[in-house]
Chain A
């Protein structure tokens, strides 16, 4: 910027000097022209004065010659004519001098007066026209008129001889004056010409300097242009200027071509640049943002913080006929001039690799965190209990894969898979939550989200299941990682694992012998889950367990599954918040009671909470909302059938899905598990007081009894 200012000053000075010199030259030329004109006039006058100067002596000589010719009786006509011409010439030249300015008037007047004195003596001579000679037999002699003529010539000769020096002096003075004037003018002209030459030299020097400066400036400009071109060709960011109409200027960096796969940027609007690359909503936001940048009051740092194009996902041609997702980062800087914002400088960088790296880093961190969480929860868990869960989960996911593997071509066939998938996943998630294996529970929850989303689609295809199978693979990989962690922990606690990598290392087997029974494990799991649910939902409640030791081993997995789901259900739907309980004159701490009994006819599992109970009307409304029933069907439903709605797949009174409820799968899992064992399930409730589930199971076969 500084060099540009100095250049401007230099250019101004040079222009001023040039103008001054040009004016001087013009002055020299004008004055010189006038001087030359004057000198030419003076020279003409001088010539005339010089000519006049010759006349006095010439007249004297002509008069003498005339007299001598008259004396010798020679022919006088020629001399008389010369005399007449001289007199006429003198008159003509004198008159000419009198008419011209610049002649020394007093001298001229004095010369005129002297010349006037010639007239009386010359006039009779000039006026003579007779024959001066008369011829007789005795020879020729002057005639009478000739004698008079002779006398007049003689008188004129004498006058001329006496007056000629005075007249000559006057005329010489006149010539000298003219000579002086001419010389003076010539001197001035010489001086002027010298000044002119000097001015020309100066002008030439100035022109040469200007040319030099200009070529130097051009060289600098060319070098700067080349540098700019090199920068624009080399820089990896896209650079361009936006004008007040949000259009791209004529100069941009080469990287822009690679970033956007086009070359016609000049005059392209910012909107056109992004139109096919981003969603309409993003485009609208970006356009609004660009407009804001032109506001005089917009604070650049603040604007930067709300830049909606800081990480823009765009689909670009990959140059091989395909498309690629890239992440572009746009940055904007206002170019401000004296009149306000002139342009907005945009820089575009392809940050795809950074985003991918950040994503991978995030995933790695998440993985590390989840591993740490996992290890922490493992330290508080019985490895064998977790190992058991992992076996169950692996079997469950194998079932999930089997459901996926069932052939399907139509929407109905694809849709049928979803219920089975949801049930299986919900069951795994419930047990993972109960064991506080949140990294697993959250992954299953995400998979459930995907399945749930597919339920809302009107036309399902195999493509829709691609993300599901990928997520399933990820979940299986995570389960492998958990198993690995447990193995390591077992090694830390009990020594190296067995060569086959199973959890049943000798020490663990020993511990297994000493470990708690299945019923105690179940009780511990349920108590742990109860504590977690109470904490997560801010609803303190006590879990009372009775008779779990009587649960046959063959029923343990089912009883565990059912109790986990019912416990989560009770915590979310049953037990009321503290304030509601107090208002209903209930104890602030809720109570969930589980009782298992062996009967003659089989087994009975009772699960009861002292919570809000079930409201048939609320259940009907939820069924209508979930489009499981029409309003007419709901109106016709009796209370018993309304309560049975809770076992329908996809039924939930909650509008939002959480880790513990909202998908309408939990009670479906319970019902299906009970039916699978040939059992029955019933529900009774009293609004505001309790909900009670009674599960009747057949007596287990002898071999399966503990």
Chain B
């Protein structure tokens, strides 16, 4: 069973990105379990986890939120590539936080990025997906943790 500390590490990795990159902290909404429906927004940055836990962790955000985030970061390029890079960076920060806290217990892959196509995220057997809404300004994204 996933532990609270583990879940918090992923949440902190996400909220910390907003705090550092946009100087405006993100808050988290009410977490829940994913039941069949998709949690994907326009852009998704995902890391695969193996070792002590197996599965995926991904950050998925709508284009509008990423646009405002880029603006806050003084970026002027709002292209598709910039959006992809941005969710990749968030996934990378989540990965760094997890490496810091879990060390060698977790083997974490290089982030992979999806855009628009709403891919089928591989679900490890027996794992439930925890959805943690990430609120920033008036926008909402999601952090999904699906680990056994």
Q: Does B27 contact A (CB under 8 A)?
A: yes
| Distance A466 CA – B27 CA, assembled complex (angstroms) | 13
Q: Nearest-CB distance from B6 to chain A (Å)?
A: 10
Residue B130 interfacial (CB < 8 Å): yes
Stretch in contact with the other chain, from A340-348, A437-445, A470-478, A485-493? A470-478
- Name which residue of chain A comes closest to B6, CB basis: A470
Within 8 A of B (CB), among A459-518: 461-463, 465-470, 472-474, 476-477
Q: With an 8 A cutoff between CB atoms, is B33 at the interface? A: yes
Closest residue on chain B to residue A322 by CB atoms: B100
Partner of A466, one of B8, B101, B135: B8
Q: Is the CB of A320 within 8 A of B103?
A: yes
In the complex, the answer to whether A401 meets B35 with C-beta atoms within 8 Å is yes
Given contacts A461-B28, A466-B11, are A318 and B33 in contact (CB under 8 A)? no
Question: Which chain B positions have C-beta within 8 A of A473?
Answer: 1-2, 33, 128, 130
Interface readout for B94-133 with A: 1 if CB under 8 Å, 0 if not? 0001011101000000000000000000000000101111
Cα distance, A574 to B131, chains bound together (Å) = 43
Q: Are A461 and B4 in contact (CB under 8 A)?
A: no
> In the complex, are the beta carbons of A417 and B1 less than 8 A apart?
no
Provided the pairs A462-B133, A470-B7 are in contact, do residues A408 and B101 lie with their beta carbons within 8 angstroms?
A: no
CB pair B29–A469 under 8 Å, yes or no, is no
Q: How many chain B residues have a CB neighbour from A under 8 Å?
A: 28
Fill in one digit per residue for B1-41: 1 if any A CB lies within 8 Å of its CB, else 0. 11111011001000000000000000111111101000000
Given A318-B100, A320-B103, A476-B128: A325 and B32 interface contact (C-beta under 8 Å) = no
Main secondary structure on B side of the interface with A: mixed
Across the interface, which residues of B come within 8 angstroms of A637, CB to CB? none
**Complex: how many Å from CA A442 to CA B32?**
21
A460 nearest CB neighbor, chain B only:
B30
**With a CB–CB cut-off of 8 A, which chain A residues contact B99?**
320
Q: Which residues of A contact B135 (CB under 8 A)?
A: 409
Q: Give complex CA distance A227, B105 in Å.
A: 35
A332 at the interface (CB under 8 A from B): no
- A324 close to B (CB within 8 Å): yes
- Is the CB–CB distance between B11 and A404 below 8 Å? no
Residues of B within 8 A of A467 (CB): 4
Which of A321, A322, A398, A408 has a CB less than 8 Å from the CB of B30? A408
A78 interface residue per 8 A CB criterion:
no
Partner of B4, one of A323, A466, A477: A466
Asked if A101 lies at the interface with its beta carbon under 8 angstroms from chain B, I say no
Contact present for B33 and A476 (CB under 8 Å) = yes
- A300-331 vs B: 1/0 string, CB under 8 Å? 00000000000000000010111111000000
A465 neighbours in B (Cβ, 8 Å): 30-31
Q: A318-B100, A401-B35, A470-B7 are in contact. Are A409 and B29 (CB under 8 A)?
A: yes
CA distance A132 to B90 in the complex (A): 149
A406, A463, A469: the one within 8 Å of B33 (CB): A469
Distance in Å: Cβ of A363 to nearest Cβ of chain B: 9
A324 to B97, CA, bound (A): 13
In angstroms, Cα B27 to Cα A467, docked, is 17
Give the chain B neighbours of A99 by CB distance below 8 A.
Answer: none
Residue numbers in A under 8 Å from B3 (CB-CB): 470
Per-residue CB proximity of B125-148 to A under 8 Å, as 1/0? 000101111010000100000000
Residues of A within 8 A of B103 (CB): 318, 320
Q: Is A414 an interface residue (CB 8 A)?
A: yes
Contact A463 B28 (CB under 8 A): yes
Cα(A207)–Cα(B2), bound, Å: 74
A465 and B133 CA atoms in complex are apart in Å by: 12
Give the Cβ gap from A313 to chain B, nearest Cβ, in Å: 12
* Interface residue A297 (Cβ < 8 Å from any Cβ of B): no
Q: Is the CB of B35 within 8 A of A462?
A: no
- With beta carbons under 8 angstroms apart, the residue of B29, B101, B130 that contacts A322 is B101
List 30 A-B residue pairs with CB atoms under 8 Å apart, sorted by A's residue number. Answer: A318-B103, A321-B100, A322-B97, A322-B100, A401-B35, A404-B31, A404-B33, A405-B32, A405-B131, A406-B30, A407-B29, A407-B133, A409-B27, A409-B29, A409-B135, A414-B30, A417-B30, A462-B27, A462-B28, A462-B30, A462-B132, A465-B30, A466-B4, A466-B132, A469-B33, A470-B4, A470-B130, A473-B2, A473-B33, A476-B33
Given A401-B33, A407-B29, A407-B133, 4 more A-B residue pairs with CB atoms under 8 Å apart are A404-B31, A409-B135, A414-B30, A462-B31
Top 6 closest pairs, chain A to chain B, by CB? A462-B28, A322-B100, A404-B32, A405-B32, A469-B31, A322-B101
A residues with CB within 8 A of B: 318, 320-325, 398, 401, 404-409, 414, 417, 461-463, 465-470, 472-474, 476-477
